[in-house]
Chain A
């Protein structure tokens, strides 16, 4: 089955530690995205990648970093510089980044709690 996987489902970390969230897709999509979802707010874009070895900052990139070494993989690192990292993180992909009607497919999400 084609889809997007994220691991782990739940993640707990101590304050000050960096943590990396995994995102893998086998849909052969060029574009991948990371969003953050907080209660009462819309999804906010952290980073996106249109193609391998290229990525762009979204609206709230501070305190986060990404890499896109393979088409299938787009890991997100939440660094200690992120002031309020506790949130639900969603990874998504689409066939291409800039296309009308280009729906995004989402992974199941990772709920990160920083203690």
Chain B
């Protein structure tokens, strides 16, 4: 079966760095997405990786290792507004998105 695993919840301090991991087992691979979702709101796109390596976009970076079925989202200089759930999703061989349950990130002052 297809499976996406991410930690349920993480806590970090304002101004610090946090890494959210995602491991996957899917039927085929056409890229990995990270979305941010504030409580009760729509998910918003953060990043897309299809090749191995690090993609940097401002305070957020995303890494992919296809051989290990592994990705992480790195958030730097954490701000209170970064408190949200972070969703990992993999596009399978049928171009369908398989979603993880999300990681709730709590930022403390």
Contacts and interface: CB of A to CB of B under 8 A. Distances in A.
Interface in B1-47: 4, 8, 30-31, 33, 40-45
Interface stretch (B56-64, B66-74, B95-103): B95-103
Interface stretch (A13-21, A73-81, A102-110): A102-110
A43 B99 contact: yes
Nearest to B102: A42
Contacts, number: 53
A102 B4 contact: no
B54 interface: no
Contacts of B8: 40
A42 B101 contact: yes
B87 interface: yes
A23 to B, nearest CB: 12
A87 B96 CA distance: 21
B38 to A, nearest CB: 11
Given A90-B43, A101-B48, A109-B42, A42 B87 contact: yes
B50 interface: yes
A45 B31 contact: no
Given A40-B101, A42-B4, A42-B101, A105 B45 contact: yes
5 contacts: A40-B101, A58-B96, A99-B95, A100-B31, A106-B42
